[in-house]
Amino acid sequence: MPLSVIIGGWFGDEGKGKVVSYLGLVDKPGICVRTGSINAGHTVNYNGRTWKLRILPSCFVNESTQLMIAPGALLKIDVLLREIKETSSASRVWVDVNTGVIEDRHVESERSNEYLMKVIGSTGQGVGAAMVDRILRVLKTAKDFPELRDLTTDVSREVNEELDRGGSVIIEGTQGTFLSLYHGTYPYVTSRDTTAAGVISEVGVSPRLVGDIVLVFKAYVTRVGAGELPGELSMDEVITRGWTERGTVTGRPRRAAPFNIDLARRAVMLNRPTQIAITKFDALFPSARGKRKWVDLPVEARKWIESISEALKVPVTLVGTGEDSMDMIDLRREVIGP
């Protein structure tokens, strides 16, 4: 579909980076737009290399894709420049003139805020503090920084023109549905709306143009920071199941719980996806590891996927079976058609 939006179904860290990098490599979109900010770490493993991105779109692995940062996103200049270098993507990175810029004082303000750091469990990256300034209309944006001049563009115009030309665009959401400022487990949430509607609003594209919404669920649920996590397992149990993870940005251990169908139903209601992606499937079914074909999955693994499609009334089209971007079972042709 010409415009696809990729959204997290849990509390972030569902593996959106992997899904977006796979779609980038296979669908080769003209543009990929990153929303959100540097509190969100998206990991890409491809051809034996690992990148932990906090602001660039995970589609960078496809070299023909233009990489854009949404007007509603917030960047930090040192993070942006470092990632451009690490991904060797200088000639195809574009920042909207209105993309907000986080400054050191925003980071300091968050890190000295005990409520935010201790009660909410913020990542302390200055994102919320910069959003406060944005709403007060005192935040500087990309156009105010001479060092960004050569990178700035009109992202919503670029996206709309690409779609009008018949090209394709991927919008990469950040965090997850239940960290949404409005629809999540308030106040234990991040500082923006992370649902599909919020994410397209950050880019400046009409809901009428959205072709696909891909909702990404990891095969189990994780959460970093405070707030409810239904069915939360003890750390010992998390270790036994091999579900131990650490935050990409903060290094904190992630809390974990089994796949939660009620939570998934609510995420489906809030985002109305056309497709579902399941990541880390090999954590549930070790014999699925590295498989790239549906027929190579054990019967019970196929049944589990089918039961999720049925329960949520949305087809599971992508199943991640390993770290590499290409470790994916892609059912889109079978399920949706060419």
Instruction: Point out which span in 6-14, 26-34, 164-172, 325-333 binds ligand IMP (CB under 6 A).
Output: 6-14
Q: Does 44 bind ligand IMP (CB under 6 A)?
A: no
* 253 makes contact with ligand IMP (CB under 6 A): no
Q: Which does 177 bind (CB under 5 to 8 A by kind): Mg ion, ligand IMP, none?
A: none
13 is catalytic: yes
Count, residues in the chain? 338
**Residue 122 interacting with ligand IMP (CB under 6 A):** yes
Burial of 236 (C-beta count, 10 Å sphere; 0-12/13-18/19+):
exposed
In DSSP notation, 118-179 reads III----SSHHHHHHHHHTT---BGGG-GGGGGGEE-HHHHHHHHHHTT--EEEE--S-GGG
Q: Verify whether residue 330 is a known catalytic residue.
A: no
Catalytic entry in 13, 193, 327, 330 = 13
* Catalytic choice (27, 42, 133, 330): 42
How many CA atoms, within 13 angstroms, populate the side-chain half-sphere of residue 112? 6
DSSP 44-59: EEETTEEEEESSS-GG
For tokens 């980038």, what's the residue? 24
Closest separation in Å from C-beta 276 to Mg ion: 19
Token pair for residue 71? 């007007």
261-271 and 299-312 helices, crossing angle to 10°? 50
The answer to whether 40 contacts ligand IMP (rule: CB under 6 A) is yes
41 binding Mg ion? (CB under 5 A): yes
Closest Cα partner for 82 from 93, 68, 71?
A: 93
Least spacing, CB of residue 332 vs ligand IMP, in Å? 26
User: In this structure, which amino acid lies at residue 38?
Assistant: I
Least distance (Å) from ligand IMP to the CB of residue 227? 6
Of 40 and 151, CB closest to ligand IMP: 40
Identify whether the C-beta of residue 203 lies closer than 8 Å to the C-beta of residue 71: yes
* 3-state percent breakdown (helix, strand, coil) of the chain, nearest 5: 40, 20, 40
Binding mask 219-248 for Mg ion (x = CB under 5 A): -----------------------------x
Least separation in angstroms between residue 145's CB and ligand IMP is 23
65 binds, among ligand IMP, Mg ion, none (CB under 5 to 8 A by kind): none
For strand 169-172 and strand 3-8, is the pairing parallel, antiparallel, or unpaired?
parallel
Closest approach of ligand IMP to the CB of residue 190, in Å: 3
Q: Smallest distance, Å, CB 271 to ligand IMP?
A: 17
Nearer to ligand IMP, 12 or 273 (CB): 12
Tokens 């030309």 label which residue? Answer: 165
- 275 forms part of the interface with ligand IMP (CB under 6 A): no
> Among 4, 21, 35, 39, which residue sits at the site for ligand IMP (rule: CB under 6 A)?
39
Q: Point out which residues bind Mg ion (CB under 5 A).
A: 13, 41, 248
User: So which residues are the catalytic ones?
Assistant: 13, 42
